[in-house]
Amino acid sequence: MTHSPRATLALALLVALPAAAQDTARTLDRVTVQAARLDGVSAFDTPASLDLIDLREDAATAGVNLSERLGGVPGLLARDRQNYAQDTQLSIRGFGARATFGVRGVRLYADGIPATLPDGQGQLSHFNLMGAERVEVLRGPFSALYGNSSGGVVQLFSARGEAPGELRVQGSAGSHATRTLGARWSGAQGRVHYNLAASVFDTDGYRDHSAARRESFNGKLGLDLAGEGTLDLVFNHFDSPRAQDPLGLTRAQWRADPTQAVAAAHQFNTRKSVRQDQLGLVLDQPLAGSHRLRATAYAGSRDVAQFLPLPVGAQGNPLNSGGVIDLGNDQAGVDARWSWQGELAARPFEATVGVNADRQRQHRRGYENFIGTQGGVRGRPRRDERNRVENVDQYAQAWWRFADRWSLLAGARHSAVRFASRDHYVTASNPDDSGRVRYAETTPVAGVMFDAGADWRLYLSSGRGFETPTFNELGYRADGGAGLALDLRPAISRHWELGSKWRWDAGELAIALFRADTDDELSVASNLGGRSTYRNVGRARRQGAEASLHASFGEHWRWQAAWTWLDAEFRDDFLTCARSGCATPDTPVRAGAAIPGTARQQFFGRLEWRSAAWSAAAEAVAQDRVSVNDIGSEQAPGYALLHLEAARRWRFGDDTLRAFLRVDNVLDQRYAGSVIVNEGNGRYYEPGPDRGVLLGLEWRRAP
């Protein structure tokens, strides 16, 4: 990694300071997570990599992007793109790294409701942090039990309202005219509990032409049922009426002025608007005889309008679908599962069986992005199709402590995903492109855990993964023709993980070695004007190691560190596009080339001091260089950043007031915060922001 001596020193200090003060300790909270779908087994006793982020803890952040809170999870790379038209880039162990917008390759859930559509495409934008309690991250083979496109699983859970209740208001202001205001009201009355949270975010953006506004509301209303059951009503509203897109920069443009937007962004006023509404019901009911029923039903809609910088000349092709994308998505689904805890051969045993069905209806329309000589406006229609995706899955898993120091977790999921498209834009020069395709796969997983000591676990797990193309990847054919790319095949992967978990009174250490071999890897074939096409390129391998440490020392100090080493490479030769205007791949990529968008190493360290009134923290973030295209002709250089924060708390009876200050990129390093993989014009780089300051106030009242 390349970084300055000052940043290296700051990173080294975060590593060295805890070692000098480990003679005193503080007991960490023990938390059982739900990501592995086990009721009677803790995360520590699960043969998988599981991490929990407690969002109830005070934070000196704006509370807008989930990436603000995910830095300490090894194997996970969350990039804030400084571009709210494209959302956060999220990948786990290299899965999802090629996504040019949104999240793919990783399953997302909010309060048990899928934020990933049946086709595998997901969004983080509506995750409301104001009302959230925790985030759970599952990595490795057992992610496959969540179905299609599950290279990992990220779940957000809203807090349960508790008596006597609380009212919380938080506001912040920072660099680049960034403002956030949020409020949460939670509590309980008898058998009813509630948690209502709303937030508004505005920014002018670090870069030119990158202003954005987001409005979010999330509600969770619960009813306690007989027999310790609960019924939760979850509803979410998200509106991003304007999010300008500054587009990526070439290396020369980035070096000359990282705040600029390219000319095409102004010419076509590139931007995106999103509106989403979702409603769900979650039932959790214990039954007689240690049985339990969990059922979820949801429905929602998501409408997207996006203006791309597609050149006018390219739209002269009668098969071109235009430079304006208008998507209407309706989705609905159900998930029901039964579980039982008991004994098998006089040993503890737990079993779960479930069924899952989801449906996505999409109305995809395309328009020219010009009228006459005026760009950035909705012109003549060029595409009109009705698309449908449906999946019906069955899954089962069982955990068994078959010996005093040994336990087994095994399961399987059968997924069947159907895509269908009906073309309603048919002309003499644009034929009917209707079509359908079906993908199906069974994904078994198994893991064994050995209790090496009272607070030491060793495990080995293996499984099979399944990743279909998303509608965004099926949306455009690599040969430039009209219609969907129905010739794309799903990627099938085989996963292995060997891990160790160790805990003590003052902390916890986890280490894992992993490997995933994939057949029919999906990769970008071309990426021009904000539009990507894809193809299967053969075999790929992602392997590496990760480690995480949480420790307390003394009465006031805490330390957290996470490190990842990832070797992600293609295993077969193939052809790709490596120049502007390329429609047919003609440049060879040799086996052993790095999968673009992945960093070979990354590190996160946080040292925190807290007293009754004051707190302060230092964070170091480092990342290795990242290849930006398949042929590896360019890389975004590695970097190391230092962030500092401080906060002060005052108590006035039932009221609490907290003020916080955070300074990001203290050493004012210039770096590429994210990359656009295989961008056909060479505009691969999305600059990270310079030194930034955030000031915030939070007020809480317990009635």
Query: How many Cβ atoms sit within 10 Å of the Cβ of residue 368?
Result: 20
pLDDT at 299 over 50: yes
Residue at token pair 């170091």: 620
CATH of the domain at 441: 2.40.170.20
Task: Tell which residue, 198, 251, 202, has the closest CA to residue 220.
Answer: 198
Residue type, 495: H
DSSP secondary structure string for all residues of 215-265: EEEEEEEEEEEGGGEEEEEEEEEEEEEEEE----B-HHHHHH-TT---HHH
**Residue 7 pLDDT grade (very low, low, confident, very high; cuts 50, 70, 90):** very low
Expressed as residue numbers, the domain containing 648 is: 5-701
Do residues 10 and 618 make contact, with C-beta atoms less than 8 angstroms apart?
yes
pLDDT in tens, 380-392: 999 999 999 999 9
More confident residue, 6 or 363: 363
**Residue 531 pLDDT grade (very low, low, confident, very high; cuts 50, 70, 90):** low
Average of pLDDT values for 273-288? 96
**Residue 513 pLDDT grade (very low, low, confident, very high; cuts 50, 70, 90):** very high
DSSP secondary structure string for all residues of 452-496: EETTEEEEEEEEEEEEPPPHHHHSS-TTS-SS--TT---EEEEEE
pLDDT in tens, 460-488: 999 999 899 988 788 777 776 667 788 89
pLDDT score for 15? 39
Longest Cα–Cα distance in the chain: 80
pLDDT at 8 over 80: no
Lowest mean pLDDT segment, chosen from 208-222, 430-444, 578-592: 578-592
pLDDT score for 583? 66
pLDDT in tens, 421-466: 999 999 888 888 888 999 999 999 999 999 999 999 999 999 999 8
Task: Tell which residue, 464, 539, 462, 545, has the closest CA to residue 496.
Answer: 462
Among left, alpha and beta (phi > 0; psi -120 to 50; other), residue 36 is alpha
Average of pLDDT values for 228-249? 95
Q: How many domains does the chain have?
A: 1
What is the β-pairing status of strands 103-104 and 121-122?
A: antiparallel
**Residue 33 pLDDT grade (very low, low, confident, very high; cuts 50, 70, 90):** low
Average of pLDDT values for 169-175? 97
**Residue 130 pLDDT grade (very low, low, confident, very high; cuts 50, 70, 90):** very high
Residues in contact with 19: Cβ distance below 8 Å, sequence separation at least 6, in sequence order: none
Residues in contact with 612: Cβ distance below 8 Å, sequence separation at least 6, in sequence order: 649
